[in-house]
Amino acid sequence: MTDQPLLSVDGLKTQFYAEDAVVRAVDGISFDVEPGEIVGLVGESGAGKSVAVRSIVRMIASPGEIVAGEVTYDGLTLVGFETDGDELVPRSDTLSESAIREEVRGNEIAVVFQDPMESLNPVYTVGHQVREFIQLNRDLSTADATSEAIDMLRKVGIPRPESRYDDYPHEFSGGMRQRVLIAMALGCEPRLIIADEPTTALDVTVEGQILDLVADVQAEFGTSFIWVTHDMGVVAEICDRVNVMYLGAIVERGTVDEIFHDTKHPYTEALLGSIPRTDREIETLEPIAGTMPAATDPPVGCRFHTRCPAAREACRTVDPPAIDVGEGSGHTAACIKHGDDAYEESSPIETAATVVSQDE
């Protein structure tokens, strides 16, 4: 492909500073989003998904800080650093926070966060906010924007949108508020929508409706999406490509087909095994052994080795790079099982996963 990616994330690192520890929430992730594609970001709770997408649009508040990496969107530098002596400092071409707020967020990139109240103003009616948001981003008369707002509210499954238009956010349930945010995002026709688990709180019927709507929008406008979820079922339904995240890092990346049918990373495998799928018996579901270590103190070597069923001695020392495991398709796995002699030559170690299976 000669096309430039719409969004490019390279080596992004974001940390939080606690009293006596540094939380390495996002620890050097890289991925691209091509025009018109839906990219999944999937992983367990605490993997760093929300911090990653917030970093992309520079919505990290103190005590958090983006400390390294680059994010470019359509030629604009959203995050960029250069060295100054032995320090990394923001590069001069990096957009200011106000420029990102005014020129990028909303009209170019719409963001749907996990908590809808973060984005809704309690003192204005829902309809007013949706209409204003649409008008801010599209050249529509108030009358046209009002009917567009009502139309979008209907499309995301809000019953009687004409009368709900004049209700305030607190008169909506959490699920309804989440749908309002999705309506806002879709209604302003951005080129990229970043959605952070927007359907997790909704029931499966509504979730299905919204995923269908996303597919329609994608087909009609060629909109790109980053879809954050911990649900592999959602990934299978709407994503083109997937990034699997564990403890601040992307451990496997590939097309949906590669991730599901040619799984290369033991974490992805465990994740798939722990989640209900229509093609598996419920009885075969197994939770991922052990718990994710704290992001203040990620394991040395491979960050997944403490829970990995396939871990060997070498996994304690080698921090695995993303290894190309496809045939030039971009399928990568950060696991030394694939093509590192050190793995072959070292012996299996006891981990949360192997101890559990011995107990059975």
Q: Can residue 199 be called a binding residue for Ni ion (CB under 5 A)?
A: no
Beta carbons within 10 angstroms of residue 151's beta carbon: 12
Applying CB under 5 A, the span of 45-53, 212-220, 234-242, 243-251 interacting with Ni ion comes to: 45-53
The CB-of-244 to ligand ATP minimum distance in angstroms stands at: 12
**Could you tell me which residues come within 8 angstroms of residue 359 by beta carbon, excluding any fewer than 6 positions away?**
none
The CB-of-40 to ligand ATP minimum distance in angstroms stands at: 13
Task: Name the residue with tokens 């709507």.
Answer: 213
Residue 191 near which of Ni ion, ligand ATP, none (CB within 5-8 Å, type-dependent)? none
The CB-of-41 to ligand ATP minimum distance in angstroms stands at: 8
**Distance (Å) of CA 138 to CA 52, 178, 180, 337:** 28, 22, 18, 51
Strand partners, 23: 16
Applying CB under 5 A, the span of 32-40, 42-50, 155-163, 269-277 interacting with Ni ion comes to: 42-50
Residue 46 near which of ligand ATP, Ni ion, none (CB within 5-8 Å, type-dependent)? ligand ATP
Residue 25 near which of ligand ATP, Ni ion, none (CB within 5-8 Å, type-dependent)? ligand ATP
Alpha helices in 16-61 (DSSP H): 49-56
Residue 181, amino acid: L
With CB under 5 A as the rule, give the number of residues binding Ni ion: 2
With b for 16 or more beta-carbon neighbours within 10 A and e for fewer, the 87-103 pattern comes to eeeeeeebbeeeebeee
With b for 16 or more beta-carbon neighbours within 10 A and e for fewer, the 48-60 pattern comes to bbbbbbbbbbbbb
Beta carbons within 10 angstroms of residue 174's beta carbon: 12
**Distance (Å) of CA 21 to CA 15, 29, 59:** 10, 21, 22
Give the residue at shortest CB distance from Ni ion: 50
Q: Can residue 50 be called a binding residue for Ni ion (CB under 5 A)?
A: yes
Residue (48 or 69) nearer to ligand ATP, CB: 48
SS percent in the chain: helix, strand, coil, step 5: 35, 25, 40
Residue (131 or 265) nearer to ligand ATP, CB: 265
The CB-of-274 to Ni ion minimum distance in angstroms stands at: 18
The CB-of-59 to ligand ATP minimum distance in angstroms stands at: 11
Interhelix angle 174-187/142-155, nearest 10 degrees: 130
The CB-of-11 to ligand ATP minimum distance in angstroms stands at: 17
Measure the CA–CA gap between 233 and 200, rounded to whole angstroms. 12
Residue 43 near which of ligand ATP, Ni ion, none (CB within 5-8 Å, type-dependent)? ligand ATP
Residue (185 or 295) nearer to ligand ATP, CB: 295
If DSSP codes are grouped into helix, strand and coil, which group holds residue 156?
Answer: coil
Residue (50 or 346) nearer to Ni ion, CB: 50
**Could you tell me which residues come within 8 angstroms of residue 47 by beta carbon, excluding any fewer than 6 positions away?**
245, 246, 247, 248, 292
The CB-of-203 to ligand ATP minimum distance in angstroms stands at: 19
Residue 41 near which of ligand ATP, Ni ion, none (CB within 5-8 Å, type-dependent)? none
The CB-of-207 to ligand ATP minimum distance in angstroms stands at: 16
Antiparallel, parallel or unpaired: β 38-42 and 241-246: parallel
Give the residues lining the site for ligand ATP (CB under 6 A).
16, 23, 25, 43, 45-51, 64, 230, 295
The CB-of-18 to ligand ATP minimum distance in angstroms stands at: 6
Q: Can residue 229 be called a binding residue for Ni ion (CB under 5 A)?
A: no
**Could you tell me which residues come within 8 angstroms of residue 139 by beta carbon, excluding any fewer than 6 positions away?**
none
Would you state the structure tokens that stand for residue 83, as one six-digit string? 């060295």
- What are the two backbone dihedrals, phi and then psi, of residue 89, each rounded to the nearest 5 degrees? -125, 155
Residue (232 or 335) nearer to Ni ion, CB: 232
Residue (36 or 290) nearer to ligand ATP, CB: 290
Q: Can residue 346 be called a binding residue for Ni ion (CB under 5 A)?
A: no
Residues that bind Ni ion (CB under 5 A): 49-50
